[in-house]
Structures are given as C-alpha cells and as structure tokens.
Amino acid sequence: MRDATGRRLTIPYAERQVRPVVWYTSTEVPAHLVKPSYELVGQWNETLMATVRQLRGQTVPEYLPVSCQTEDPGGACFCQNHPDTGEVLNPTCAGGYDPFEPPDQARSRISSGEPFDCYVATVDADGNVMGSALDNEPDYNDFGLTDADYNGWYRTAMVGSECVNVLRINTCNRANLDEHAALDCQERGDIRFKLLSFVDQPGTPFLGVAQLRGDPLTGQIITGDANIGGPAMDSQRTRAMEVYDLINGNLTDQEYYTGEDVRAYLNAIEHVELPAPPRIDFSAASREGFAVDPNVRAGIAGVMSRAAERAELLQGVEGRAAVFIDRGRELAGTDIERRLVSGMNALSIGGMDAAPETMSPDSLNDAMIDRISPFRGALEEQLYQTRDFELRMGLSNMIMPNEFTDNSVLSFVNEHRDWTRVRVEFELDRRLYRDTQVHEMGHCMGLRHDFSGTADPANYYDGYYTINERFPFPDPNDFNTDGTPGLSPAEQTDFEDAYEAARRLRELAGIDQWANSSVMDYTPEWYMRINGAGYHDFMAISYGYGDIVDIYDNSRAGDGTGRAALPLGSLTPVNTMRVGIKWYHGGETCSVDADCPYSTGGSRANELLPANMSSGLTQTCGSFGRTDGLTTCSNFDVDSAAMLESAGAAPAWVPVEYFYCEDIRSSTRSLPGCSIFDAGDSFREIVRTQTQAYERGYIFNNFRRYRRLFSTFGYGGRLTRYIDPLLSLYQNLIYRYASDPEFRTQEGPFGFEDEFLATADTMNFFARLLSQPSIGSYEYDAAWDRYEVVSFDARPDAQISIPFGQGRYLNSIYQTGLTGINRVERIGSIYDAIYGMLFLTARGIGPFYGPDVAFFTNFTDIFPNEIQQIFTGMIAGRPEDYMPRIECESGDVFPNCSQPRVVFMDFYRGDCSIDPATGDPRTATCRPNPSEVTYRDLEVLNGGTRFFLQSYAAIFALQNFPIYFDTSFQNQMFICVEGQGECFAPDGAAVEGVDYVRHTSRRFGKNFLAWQVESTDGVAGQTSIAFTMVSEAADSDFIVRMLQRYRGDHLPGDPPPDINNLTAEQRARLTALGYDLPTSGTEIQFEIDRLEGRVNSLESFMFFVIQLEQAYGITFPQPYRRPEI
C-alpha cells in the first residue's frame, strides 16, 4: 500500500489480516505428547489472540473466578493444600483461557467480552468437528498403559476463526508408520514447515534447542523448529521418577547407583547446620516490617567503606599491576609442583579422567603436567571453558539438562499419590516436554533468554504469593535473645530449625514451581519447569508484536472483583488485576499535543487502549531535557514515572516493571540474579538455594554411577553452575558500591544490605568447602580438646559417627578397568576444597565490566579478619580456627554423641577496624571471634587435615592476598632459618616472644624465626600466621623436653616422674602455657608422641613455606618495632 508519491504506507492495525503461524508435529512425536503440544501452542496463541483484539480495538475476555480443582495437578487452579493440616490455601483462582474448551462452553465463565473462537477438537478426515479432544485421553486405571493408547490425539485439530498460533498434526505420525512411504509428510529441514520436533536419536546431548532460519540479508526469521532431545528428556524423567519412587516408598533402602543409600543421605544432610545468618536478615526484615539493628548497619557501612578504598586502588590496568597473581607461574617446573601434581587427587583435580594402571608420579611428562598443574592455569582454564561452553550453548538457544532435588519434589509426589505409577510417568513426560517446548517456541517467536526470571519476585506465578503469605520465613531477630551481636550456637540451631520448618512447609506446598516469571530462564530444579510461560513472556510477546505492556488496575483484585486501592509496595498479580496498555516510544517533533501520534487527538489515537484513557498515559508535547529547547512527544516510561511520583501512596494505576537480562549480560556475570540455574526472591535466598543444590547434588554428581561419560571436567561444570551466581554477587557488590551511590541506600530484597549479607553467606559457603568433614568414626582427644577421625568407616559403636550426608569422601578414587586403564570412579571433596580456596583468593576471575572498570579484588579485601582466621587455620593446621563444631542431643553422655549435628561456623565479624579517633578497635560494630567466643561451648570436629590442602592454602594465599601497597599478609607469613642469607638476626631492642619468636629444631639443628608484624592497615585483631606456627612449635618442643625431664630421662635408671626435676622457671612457663603434666608413664609417652608429631609436622611445613617464599621471590620484611622502642 503506497501513497500518491509512491512511499509505503503503514496499514492500520484494525485493517490488517491475520496470517496464522502454523506448526507441525514431527513424525517422531509420541502420541501422549500431542496434548501438551496443543497446550504450549495454546499459551502463545492466547497472548497473540489478545494482542490482535487489542490492536483492533476489540474487548479481550475477562473471566470469572473459578473454584480450585483436585483432579489434575497439572491443570489450571489445582488446590494447594497445607502440607500438615490439609487446609486449602487457594479456594478460588482467577479464570483463564482453556484451549480445549469450545466458545459456547467458555461463555458462561466470562464476565465481560466474548470468548476466543479457537479451540482443540476431535475432527474427521475433512476437518469437521466430531467431539471433544479430551475424549481421546486413555483409561488411566489401565496398569498396562502404552503410548498407543493416546493415538486418538492424532485425530485432533485446532479449529475456529481467531487462531493465530496454530498446531497441525503431521500427515505422518506414529499411528500410521506403515503408510509413511506413500504419504506427503512434513519433514524436518523443509523450509516450508515449522516443526515441534522430537529428536529421538541416541546420544542427543541437548534437552532443547531452537533452530531459526532467516533471510541472510535482512535477518528476518523465515522459519524455525522447536526441538527437544528425547534422550535428555528421558534422563530427566528417569531421575525424577527415581526420586519419586524413593520418596513414595516404591524403592526400599538399597544401594542406589554406587552403593550409597539416597534416602539416608537426604536424611543425613538435614543434620548439618549452615552458618547462621548475621544478626538480622534484612530482606526478611523489610518484608515483615522489622527494624534493622543500627550497629549491624553501621558495621556493614564500615566494612564496605574500607573495601571501597582498597578497590579503588585495584581498578583497571593499574589495579592489575598492583597484584601478584602471576606468582603461581613461578612454581611451574619446581619440586613444589612435582610433589603436588602426583597422586590420584592431583590427577582428578587436573581433569585426568583415565590413567594407565602403571602410571606413577615419575611417569608424568610436561604435556600431562601442563594439563593438571594449577600453576599453569589449569584450574582457571577449566572454569573459563565451562563458562564459554554455557554461553555458546545459550546463544544457540540450547538448554543443557540439569537436575536438583529438594522437598518440592515431595509436593509432586503428594499431588500424584493416588495415581498409578505408569500414569505419573506419562504425566511427568508431558509436563517436562511442554515446558521445554514452550521455551523453544518462545525463541522461534523472537524471545531471548531471560535469566532473571527466578530473581523477579514481583512477577512470579500466582501460586507463589499464596504460599509465601501463608508460610513466611522466620526473622533472625526473634532468636537473638542473649544481647550479643550475631546468633549463638543455640540461637543458630533454633533459628535453623524454625527456618527449615518454614522451608519444608513452603516446599511441600510447591512454592518452588511458582517462583519464576519467565519460561525463558534456566531454573535449578526440574519441577520449576512444569508450569509453562510466565507473566514476563506474555508481556514480551504483546510488546514485541503490538507495543502493549502491563499495568496494574489498582481498583480491582486479581480475579477482577472491585476493591479499594492497595499501597504501592504491596501489589502482586494475585491481589491486583493486570491489563494491557499501549506503549509509545516518543521523540517525534511537535508543537502541540495533537502532533503526537499517541495523544488523545493524535493520528494513532485509535490504537490507545482503555487503560491509556483511564490512567491518562497518553502522549503530550513538551520539552524533555536534552532537546535544546525543542519540543518533542513524550515517552511512555517517562510519563508513567511522572504519574507515579505524583500519585500518592496508593496509585490507581501502576505500570508493571520486569527484571530482564539475556545471554550476553549473564555471561559477563555483571548483574547479580542474572545467572543460569539460580533461584531466589532475594540475594540471600539465591545463595541458600545454590548451597542446598550443591549439597543435594553430591550423591548424584560425584560418583560415576556406571556413566560412560562421567568426568572431572563435567563435574567442574556442574560445580561452576552452583558457584557462578555466587561469584557474581560479591564482585557486583564492589562494583555497584563504587559506581552507584544510590545503591548504598537501597533497602529490601536485592538491595545493598541484602547483597552484602549474601556475600558474607558466600564467604561462609566457600569456607565450608574447605572444612567438610570426612565420613567416618571419631573419638574425642582430650589432649587436643577435639574429636579426631579414627576410621574412615562410620561405625555405629563410635563416640561420633559421621555418615554419608553429614560428611563426604575426601579423596578421589579410580576404578580398575579390564583394559588396564583406570577411570575416575569418585571425585573427592578435596577437589571442592581446592576450588573453594581458588574462589576465596583469586583476583581477576570476576565479572567482565571492561578492562578499565574491572576490580582485582577478592574476599580478603572485604573480610580481612574472617579470611585471616580461615587461612590461619588451614595453613597452620589449626582445625579449631575453621573446622565445624558438633552439637549433641541433651540426653547424650559426653563424649558419646548418638545423633550429632554438624554446625558450620559463621565467620562474619562485622566492622572490627581501628577507630582513628581513639586508636582502639571498634566494639559496637565488631562481632566476637567465632572460634574463641561464639562457638567455644561446642566441641571441634577435626574432619581431616591434609598437607596437600595446607600447601595449596599457602600457595593461593601468598599468591593472591598481598598487593603492591599492602604486603602485610606475606610479612605475616614470613619464616626463615636463622643464619641463612635472607634471614636477618633480631637486633638487641627486639623482645623474644613479643616482637619475634625462635624455635630451635632438635631434629634439624636449625633455628626458625618469625616476626610479629603489623596487621593490615586499619584492621584490628590480626596475628602473624608465621609467628603463630613458630610459637606453637617452640612451645610444643618445650613441653616435650619438660615431659622428658619430668619423667627423669636425664637420670640413670627408671625413676618415677618428679615435678622437682623442673625448675621453678620451667614450671611457671608450663603454667603460663596452660599445660597440666600427666601422672602415669603411659600418659607421658602418649603426650610426647603427640607433641613430637605436631612439632615434626610444623617443621616440615615451615620448610615448605620457606621454599615457597623463595620461589615467589619474597624477601625478609622490615622488622617490626614496637612504638616504645
């Protein structure tokens, strides 16, 4: 259509004809998947039909509320029940379009407008309607149900005059396999057809992928197939059914997969306490109206102020020059590298999935060492490869499958408890298929991924709000009753019990499946993928095809009934009606309002919708800032913001805002909440979800379970899925704090304090990776005052037995193959610990903001005291500093503990910096030392320390903690052997035991020296790690010598122990050390052996540290001088 001058004219929407988008099922689509094919096509069809009506100025039907139903858990408005009482939580729901309901039947459910004339019916060969499509459902009481019983669905079609998105059954299908050669089939690859394609070839790796074929010149999409991988869907269904059977009692307690009892594992992890949240959960507080403790808020502000100052010096290319992250490369080719890359654990960490039985450490060549050595970039490279793989798959519209199980699967079990198992299998297949194909069809219709769907709580499915209101999470404030900042162990346990009780009810009620706004997201659980398109998806289609967005009509509830306006912050899709409103871009030059196309008198005023007219959101002509005096037509977003600003506390109309991010933004990890496989209605909930997914995935992820393609690289990819969202949180915290001052005052979920505390939670989680106890039996060691592992078998007669679920296997193992090739069978938690150290220490693996914006920070820049404590424990071999604690039942008699609960420490300290006004540490904002105060009444569980992990802790710490303008950490780590070239003797003014410490090794005949150097600038309470280690060695050796003298080793014969063998000065030193001499000869020898073993261990590790410092080029620091010297 052209005007008189030959220019093309835009045909008004009201005059345009609809050209239906036609899809065909592929020949392989099973009969039982035809119904969900209609459902998924119908979801997009409803939105497109509504868009067409609105663009034509016609009324969109509004439906009456409906009562909840109990017949079909996958159907609309299924009754959600209280898990314990059976109370119905949603007696009624908003009505909606049913693609299988004829218009005449739908009319009785409509409050205004006419029903859509488009539905699915059974038809004859000529397309004539013969009856209801639902009559083709089989007899579900038939235990021998097969796919062929659904063949009637091949005789159905979409009929009616308004269909826009249409599905047709392929001429060739499974019901007429014998006739395919003679039929004109709609084949895959034929550009004339768009297919819902079921790819059933063995080995198909993807779950879903959309293949778009477009004009190479214009980019216009010509056609596209929505493909689903049958094998991947089978795998998901099989995993889901295994868990279903296990929970439903269809499987007995048996060795599942690799000889591990899944049910016992899932039960055991309920006896593991996550680190307690810092004193208050700000997201919970803001939702429930609780006041925020000003000292906690002040502590957060102080911590971030100091971190921002350091981050400013670590930004961009100058920041890169200020760090020492290249030090690790100096270890390539050294003896240190050779020692650490030998053994099965090193092979698995390096990604060696198979090795000859005859392989020994000496047989590793340079090529193999290049692959497995962490000093040649192997760990980081695995991380980058996994990210790159995920990004490339996402940009190709491909979903890779994943699984995770929590209590929400019980919701699915309970909903289908009365169904036969075969019916459950078919139903699960249908729902997984429907959701995946809704996603892929969304791509074909122009939608990108939306990885923020699970982090968009204002736009979740309706079911979320019903459950969230009924079962709120507890507030930590209610449990903090002792007047001490932070939760004590008892308070922590009480809070965790209440939290887990609320979480159980929420998950059993099915909240997880509703916690999403977009089917274009990748959710962490399969049961979050069974509800189809969300609010964002419907809006995106309406916006993309008709410039129609959502707005709240605050005079009506979600079901359309009238009510008084609600406050702005309380609106949800359940309590407030959403309607469509015409969006306009603006920017056209104008003199008066009528010059603007979407003004009430403009050229396109007929396209304005009722909501535009009622809300007053129409275009106006004016000066809008950057137009240098010119007048232009207004923009919808600017107009709506101005309307809200002047509308008061309860506006009549509220535009709906969505959180959106796609693949490229997600791949940079520069926007928290924008990650694949994350979920949560606050930053802290995202962290908790990821940590729970990590815990519950262990039994499925770390064992081969007869999988041919099981590999450490694949495990690294799954681990990265848990970790990536957490890394982006703490890096983004630094970036937003530095670049956006308004962020610092943003409260509530996804605000500043929420993100800060989520970062603290992330630190605690990474610390937990370092301290996971080994499976086994433990006995209390009174000398060390802690429980020590005595057997790697969890014996029932042990004082403490840590079973599978509470503990993990530390070491990787390789199975012996018949061909002489050993394949990795189990990936040990040492792998996770190494990655935990990497994530806590690494600089430069954060989100990509551009070379000039990146901050080369790590966790020690935000949490110096906390990281110092964790790594002091790791490096000095002090489990009391970082290992978990044990809590026993009240009836247990110490040291026996029948039902132990493993309690991981919360390391967060708050702001413990020096107050420059007083020169003293801040007390109001500083929480107590967790190991010395908060958890001191609980016994330490030494889950197993390793020289391997000690070495890596020292390597990563010395590589990543020091920076050019603050080398305090490497100074605190400096140890030397007196008399060697790099070791200076203390001068006469320095006081031994205060300024420096000396340990004389009787084994090597050498003196180790370490200094008490100044702490990080402005940080209180830090102690030199080297000073601690050398002091312990000197004190332990002194005690050994005193025990030998006390026993009379210097005297002839075999005299009895005599305290008089010690001088008064020696006895005084023992008292100062808090050491009580044993009385019996057996006890004395035990103590000598224990302490000599510790001294030998310390001496060996101190030599390792000295060798490491020499390799890194670290020289003797400036000696510390006390101010009074």
pLDDT digits (tens, 9 = 90+) for 1054-1066: 899 999 999 999 9
Are residue 946 and residue 971 in the same domain, yes or no?
A: no
For 697-707, what is the mean pLDDT?
74
3-state secondary structure of 901: strand
Cβ-based neighbours of 858, under 8 Å, separated by 6 or more: 840, 841, 842, 843, 960, 961
Are residue 845 and residue 915 in the same domain, yes or no?
A: yes
pLDDT confidence of 898, banded at 50, 70, 90? confident
pLDDT confidence of 998, banded at 50, 70, 90? very high
**DSSP-derived pairing of the beta strands 632-633 and 119-123:** unpaired
The pLDDT assigned to 482 comes to 82
Are residue 887 and residue 1032 in the same domain, yes or no?
A: no
* Minimum mean pLDDT range among 510-524, 760-774, 865-879: 510-524
pLDDT digits (tens, 9 = 90+) for 1023-1045: 788 999 999 999 999 999 999 99
Max mean pLDDT among 71-75, 287-291, 837-841 falls in 837-841
Distance CA 338, CA 329 (A): 13
The pLDDT assigned to 431 comes to 86
Residue 79 within a domain: no
Are residue 245 and residue 300 in the same domain, yes or no?
A: no
Nearest to 242 by CA among 431, 428, 433: 428
Are residue 736 and residue 772 in the same domain, yes or no?
A: yes
Helical residues (DSSP H) of 249-361, grouped into ranges: 262-268, 282-288, 294-313, 316-321, 335-340, 344-349
For 876-882, what is the mean pLDDT?
93
pLDDT confidence of 529, banded at 50, 70, 90? low
DSSP state of 661: -
Are residue 716 and residue 860 in the same domain, yes or no?
A: yes
3-state secondary structure of 283: helix
pLDDT confidence of 706, banded at 50, 70, 90? low
Question: In this structure, which amino acid lies at residue 279?
Answer: R
Q: What percent of the chain has pLDDT over 70?
A: 85
The pLDDT assigned to 665 comes to 81
Residue 675 within a domain: no
Helical residues (DSSP H) of 485-633, grouped into ranges: 489-508, 535-546, 610-615
pLDDT digits (tens, 9 = 90+) for 171-183: 999 999 999 999 9
Distance CA 367, CA 461 (A): 52
Instruction: State which of 429, 444, 459 marks the end of a domain.
Output: 444
Cβ-based neighbours of 441, under 8 Å, separated by 6 or more: 23, 40, 41, 44, 196, 210, 226
More confident residue, 491 or 908: 908
More confident residue, 765 or 627: 765
Are residue 973 and residue 936 in the same domain, yes or no?
A: no
**944: pLDDT strictly greater than 80:** no
The pLDDT assigned to 312 comes to 86
Host domain of residue 1102:
967-1112
884-914 per-residue burial string, b: 16 or more CB within 10 A, e: under 16: bbbbbeeeeeebebeebbbbbbbbbbbbbbb
pLDDT digits (tens, 9 = 90+) for 722-741: 888 888 888 889 888 988 88
Instruction: State which of 900, 926, 951 marks the end of a domain.
Output: 951
**239: pLDDT strictly greater than 60:** yes
Instruction: State which of 406, 429, 444 marks the end of a domain.
Output: 444
544-568 per-residue burial string, b: 16 or more CB within 10 A, e: under 16: ebbbbbbbbbbebbbbbeeeebbee
Distance CA 284, CA 441 (A): 37
For 74-97, what is the mean pLDDT?
89
3-state secondary structure of 890: coil
Residue 1073 within a domain: yes
Residue 1102 within a domain: yes
**133: pLDDT strictly greater than 90:** yes
Cβ-based neighbours of 703, under 8 Å, separated by 6 or more: 257, 258, 260, 825, 826, 827
Are residue 108 and residue 237 in the same domain, yes or no?
A: yes
Residue 569 within a domain: no
Helices 421-444/34-55 angle, 10° precision: 40
Cβ neighbour number for residue 80 with a 10 Å cutoff: 24
Mean residue pLDDT of the chain comes to: 84
The pLDDT assigned to 208 comes to 82
**36: pLDDT strictly greater than 60:** yes
Max mean pLDDT among 613-617, 669-673, 993-997 falls in 613-617
3-state secondary structure of 121: strand
Residue 595 within a domain: no
pTM beyond 0.75: the answer is yes
- Give ∠ CA 968-970-971 in degrees, rounded to 5: 60
Residue 514 within a domain: no
pLDDT digits (tens, 9 = 90+) for 455-491: 999 999 999 999 999 999 888 888 888 877 667 778 8
Distance CA 42, CA 35 (A): 10
pLDDT confidence of 940, banded at 50, 70, 90? very high
Tell me the CA end-to-end span of the chain in Å, nearest whole number.
94
DSSP state of 786: E
The pLDDT assigned to 290 comes to 38
**387: pLDDT strictly greater than 50:** yes
Distance CA 880, CA 493 (A): 20
pLDDT digits (tens, 9 = 90+) for 246-302: 556 554 433 343 334 455 555 565 556 555 443 333 333 333 333 456 777 788 888
The pLDDT assigned to 512 comes to 84
What is the number of domains present in the chain?
3
Token pair 């990890």 is found at 669
Are residue 220 and residue 337 in the same domain, yes or no?
A: no
Are residue 163 and residue 221 in the same domain, yes or no?
A: yes
Are residue 935 and residue 978 in the same domain, yes or no?
A: no
The residues facing 228 across adjacent strands are 198, 208
Helix%, strand%, coil% for the chain, nearest 5: 45, 15, 45
Helix (H) or strand (E) holding 644: helix 636-645
Pick left, alpha or beta for residue 371 (phi over 0 → left; psi -120 to 50 → alpha; otherwise beta): alpha
Residue 385 within a domain: yes
Please report the sign of the dihedral spanned by the C-alpha atoms of residue 161, residue 166, residue 172, residue 177: negative
More confident residue, 615 or 289: 615
Are residue 1003 and residue 1064 in the same domain, yes or no?
A: yes
The pLDDT assigned to 1042 comes to 95
Distance CA 938, CA 715 (A): 34
